[in-house]
């Protein structure tokens, strides 16, 4: 039971982290991709 709880906690933390990561860095990654496209052209 405790192991299951720990796994749930870990998955929750991972999901929350990923959500924060996407919200914070999506714009940054978008800018990088635009730059790469410009470099290719």
With DSSP H G I counted as helix, E B as strand and the rest as coil, what are the percentages for the chain, rounded to 5?
95, 0, 5
CA angle 7–10–16, rounded 5-degree value: 140
Query: What does each of the 41 residues of the chain score in pLDDT, given as a tens digit?
Result: 687 878 888 888 888 888 877 777 777 777 788 787 887 65
pLDDT for residue 2: 82
Residue found under tokens 């919200």 = 23
Residue 40's pLDDT is 67
Instruction: Say whether pTM exceeds 0.95.
Output: no
């Amino acid at each position: 039971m405790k192991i299951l709880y720990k796994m749930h906690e870990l998955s929750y933390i991972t999901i929350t982290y990923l959500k924060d990561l996407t919200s914070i860095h999506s714009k940054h990654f978008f800018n990088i991709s635009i730059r790469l496209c410009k470099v290719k052209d």
